[in-house]
Structure 1
């Protein structure tokens, strides 16, 4: 099995971002709560996820999550097109967030990743 990345990404609305900062934890978006886990994407999957699930929305934020900090709560499971996606079977603590920024795209239309610092 190939080595999975240690960082994955979650797209949050402004209200969800505010709640994460205020509460120090994020229980999940409605789709996460319905499915029983928090959906994340790798860097390579992020733009497709945004295009598919957040089209036309503004005031979005990208949160970089340290998967190693979440330990056994992270499971890699097949989803879209048979790709493995990281899912968190727990609330997302702010302590596992290593960077976040408003969602922006580069000149090629790819979602830019937040940079810690």
Structure 2
């Protein structure tokens, strides 16, 4: 039985303040929930909309950072989370060098999420 390959890009949802920290410092140590859990939560392209709706509903000025997982190698673990799905978790600070694009959360006319990068 073969499984689909894991994606090379994941998304970190950031507040404007968190994005500013990443851009100014060149690294991001995590949101309060990341620090509490011991890893930085990220989502695949197929998971990010549900993550936004579940954890960021009603929040203004939220941004998505597209992260090149190949640049993070061993610090990424795909672990079972919501609904039994595998989610990418980063067991290190997020370096700006691994961020390939970032943009405010935006929606396409058809209601789909407009992903950066």
User: Which bin holds the TM-score, normalised by the shorter protein?
Assistant: over 0.9
**Equivalent-residue separation in structure 2 for 1:108 and 1:45 (angstroms):** 18
**Equivalent-residue separation in structure 2 for 1:38 and 1:32 (angstroms):** 5
- Give 5+ residue unaligned stretches, structure 2: none
Q: Write out per-residue CA displacement over residues 8-53 of structure 1, whole angstroms, 9 at most, x where no aligned residue.
A: 0011000000000000000000100000000000000010000000
Is 1:72 matched up with 2:56?
no
Q: Report the alpha carbon displacement of residue 109 of structure 1 after superposing the two structures with TM.
A: 2.5
How well do the aligned residues superpose, as a CA RMSD in angstroms? 0.8
Structure 2 counterparts to residues 80-99 of structure 1, below 5 A: 80-99=82-101
Is 1:31 matched up with 2:52?
no
Is 1:62 matched up with 2:64?
yes
Q: Which residue of 1 aligns with 2:105?
A: 103
Q: Report the alpha carbon displacement of residue 78 of structure 1 after superposing the two structures with TM.
A: 0.4
Structure 2 counterparts to residues 10-29 of structure 1, below 5 A: 10-29=12-31
TM-score by length of 2: 0.95
TM-score by length of 1: 0.95
Q: Write out per-residue CA displacement over residues 63-101 of structure 1, whole angstroms, 9 at most, x where no aligned residue.
A: 000000001000000001000000000000000000001
- Give 5+ residue unaligned stretches, structure 1: none
How many residue pairs match? The answer is 115
Q: Report the alpha carbon displacement of residue 106 of structure 1 after superposing the two structures with TM.
A: 1.3
